[in-house]
Structure 1
Amino acid sequence: MLDLYIAHARGKNVSVSSACIGSAAPPTTGLRWLGILQDEGLVLREADPRDHRRVNVRLSDEGIARMETYLRDLRA
């Protein structure tokens, strides 16, 4: 989620495959966790408008809010 939060702050898109690679977990584990995060309403999957073969993933508004709370609590 931190990688997705940083991408959000930079205005960058993250493909599902890049998110799985960034997790440093096996691809099946990364995909499973993305599914869990999506079911929890923390991430959204969207078709890439420039390449319809690719799917991007981003934090939902709730995911952003939770990351901001987490980071704020770390500083406290």
Structure 2
Amino acid sequence: MELSAWMAAEGLTNVALAARLGVAENTVNRWRNKWRRPRQKDMTTILHMSGGQVTPNDFFIVAPPVDQGRGRPTRCEAGQ
């Protein structure tokens, strides 16, 4: 689950989460918009605060694999 979705479900604002983590409001905004990733200690705190719903992997954008530069989906991506 992405940080924004978890915050919405919990009714948390940027200000509220920032206060709980001891970071600036702008820092939380940057994380939510994927402009920056939290430091490891903040990722760990968020993981525990969210009961495991927001994981460190949720802060990374990973492109789907492609087949050796041919631009076609791999078998895994194509569902085979």
TM exceeding 0.5: no
Larger relative strand fraction: 1
Q: Greater helix share, 1 or 2? A: 1
TM-score (norm 1): 0.29
Which structure has the greater CA radius of gyration?
2
The answer to which structure, 1 or 2, has the higher relative contact order (CA under 8 A, 6+ apart) is 1
